[in-house]
Amino acid sequence: MSNIIKSRGDGKTQCASDGKRTFLKLSSAALAALAVSGTAIDALASGENAFLSIPIAPQTGAVDLGSGDTGILNYAYALEQLEAAFYTQAVGSPYGNMSAQERQVLTDLRDHEIVHREFLKTALGAGAIPGLTPNFGKIKFNNRKSVLETARTFEDLGVAAYNGAGKLLTNPEFLLLAGKIVSVEARHAAAIRDLLKPRSNNFSPKAFDQAFDPATVLKAAAPFIATPITANNLPRS
Amino acid sequence: MTDKTILGGLDPELVTRLTTRREAIFKAGKLGVAPASAPIALGALSATTFGQGSPLPAQIVDTLNFALTLEFLEDEFYRTAINSRNLIPNTTRNVFRQISNHEAAHVKFLQGALGTAATAKPTFDFTAGGAFADVFSNYQTFLAVSQAFEDTGVRAYKGQAGNLISNNDVLTAALSIHSVEARHASEVRRIRGEKGWITGESRGTLPAPTQAVYDGEDNTTQGGANLAGLAGVPASAITEAFDEPLTKDEVLAIARLFIRA
């Protein structure tokens, strides 16, 4: 806990735009539940944060993901925000005739993505990007097909994103953490795909999952995120 | 089946780098060793052509051989199951055919990457000395062992990622297999009536001998942050949201139950 608060107050990420203030306020409740003492978060809270770019570029209002491992974790954090917001809405305003099984799966996915989101926010501390505003205008939340196909898109994209990001991380502990999350995203992807085409070969269409670079992933995610994001400082290899 | 099909999904460039041009492996591994010159088509890979000069560092060879042993296990398991009469019902036949094809592709890929350094296939005993005596005649037993293998596979690959960090191509390939094993695990678990994800360290309805597959999955501390008590989600979500690794020794202790020699 102390690391996070300390790094927040160190003045290095002085980005007190309205968005950032809102984000800090929103996150305080979640943070209060967390006790922090480990090496991975220490690494972010001390060394890494000294090199952070300012999360909000004042000229454009765009959110910049930053650089190094912090940038990659912010990239993951952005995707988890998107997924959590999507499932929150999907469960909150369910389509008609949602089966008990579908409700259970979508509710579990919502909760898992919230855990991922809150974990990454905590790990990033003062280096975290602010809360992003989703754009779900194209999703028909009252339509089963639209919801499940969007879920499939997000889960497959998440798997490909984490798989592609592995090589961009330098800290082995972050690599392990990404690994702990990506296999859960893959479990999600299979479950959603099975709901769409039960007991077929659809749950895992290929012997090797995709591994996308951040540019590819962010392009695919962009239509669903209202907040402009820049990722020019992310590691490329 | 063509190699293109069998390796479907993996970035073709990556496959090329891993299996046909050893110089790329030297480069990615930053070994500074003189590259081999002749490109070798994946289909033509053989122990005699690829392994000369042992291009991969020992740590990566050991790790990939460990993965290969597990893939041998899964590959033979599903192949045998599919060929066992009256075992897999038509309703899930496509699922297990798909899994079987994937495990075969993983074996072929790892053998190709390892060349002559590839380990030999062990002799398996899928009954685990009689604990699962009807594994190929009782669908429920087959499903139980399948789930245990898939959940173990996920934890095994996860535990080895750090050992591959020096070679981006090998790491990415391993991650691309890792998440496929997780898809398999989710599907088999759901066929068995379980959730696709692991709650706490529960083995669910699996028999007691499988508990080692799930030990430690109840961890709530991630990257030094204890997530227990996180507001807004049930306690179950905290452990479900993260899969935990197993060490090589922990995995081998499980796998050895099924290895005769």
Residue B226 carries which DSSP code? E
Q: Specify if B45 maps to a domain.
A: no
SS3 annotation, chain A:
CHHHHHHHCCCCCCCCCHHHHHHHHHHHHHHHCCEECCHHHHHHHCCHHHHCCCCECCCCCCEECCCHHHHHHHHHHHHHHHHHHHHHHHHHCCCCCCCHHHHHHHHHHHHHHHHHHHHHHHHHHHHCCCCCCECCCCCCCCCHHHHHHHHHHHHHHHHHHHHHHHHHCCCHHHHHHHHHHHHHHHHHHHHHHHHHCCCCHHHCCCCCCCCCCHHHHHHHHHHHECCCEECCCCCCC
Return mean pLDDT, chain B. Answer: 86
Q: Which residues from A are below 8 Å from B177, CB to CB?
A: 207-209
Nearest C-alpha of chain A: how many angstroms from B127? Answer: 26
pLDDT tens sequence across A1-44: 333 322 333 333 333 333 333 332 333 334 344 444 445 666 55
Does B46 fall in a domain? Answer: no
CATH number of the domain where residue B130 is located: 1.20.1260
Q: Is residue B41 part of a domain?
A: no
* Per-residue model confidence as pLDDT tens digits over B156-168: 999 999 999 999 9
B83 is a domain residue: yes
Domain count, chain B: 1
| Beta-carbon count within 10 A of B37 CB | 8
Higher pLDDT, A62 or A55: A62
Domain boundaries defined on chain A: 2-230
Q: What is the pLDDT of residue A11?
A: 33
Residue B55 banded pLDDT, cuts 50, 70, 90: confident
Q: B92 lies in a domain?
A: yes
pLDDT score, position B46: 33
Residue B40 lies in a domain: no
pLDDT of residue A186 exceeding 90, the answer is yes
Which residue range is the domain that position B120 belongs to? 7-32+54-197+205-219+227-258
The reply to whether B84 falls in a domain is yes
Question: Chain A within 8 Å of B47 (Cβ-Cβ)?
Answer: no
Instruction: Please give the pLDDT value at position A34.
Output: 46
pLDDT at site B84? 98
User: What is the ipTM for the molecules in this complex?
Assistant: 0.86
Determine the Cα–Cα distance for residues B176 and B174; give it in Å rounded to an integer: 5
Domain assignment present for residue B37? The answer is: no
Residue B54 has pLDDT above 70, yes or no: no
Chain B, nearest residue to A116 by Cα? B241
Residue A84, CB-side half-sphere exposure with 13 Å CA sphere = 24
Quick one: pLDDT at residue B175? 98
**Min CA distance, B94 vs chain A (Å)?**
6
Distance from the Cα of A75 to chain B's closest Cα (Å) equals 17
Mean of the pLDDT values across residues B217-230? 97
Q: Which CATH superfamily is domain A2-230 in?
A: Ferritin, core subunit, four-helix bundle (1.20.1260.10)
Q: What are phi and psi of B71, to 5 degrees?
A: -70, -35
pLDDT at B219: 98
Per residue in B234-254, pLDDT (tens digit) is: 999 999 999 999 999 999 999
Cα–Cα separations (whole angstroms), residue B177 to B71, B129, B144: 10, 29, 21
Q: What's the CA angle centered on A43, arms A42 and A44, to 5 degrees?
A: 90
B140-162 mean pLDDT: 98
What is the mean pLDDT of the segment spanning B68-78? 98
Tell me the pLDDT tens digit for each residue of A202-233: 999 999 999 999 999 999 999 999 999 999 99
Range with the lowest mean pLDDT among A15-24, A117-126, B224-233?
A: A15-24
Element housing B237 (H / E)? helix B235-240
| Chain B residues whose beta carbon lies within 8 Å of the beta carbon of residue A207 | 6-10, 101-102, 105-106, 109, 177, 180
Tell me if residue B128 falls in helix, strand or coil: coil
- What does the pLDDT average to over B108-123? 97
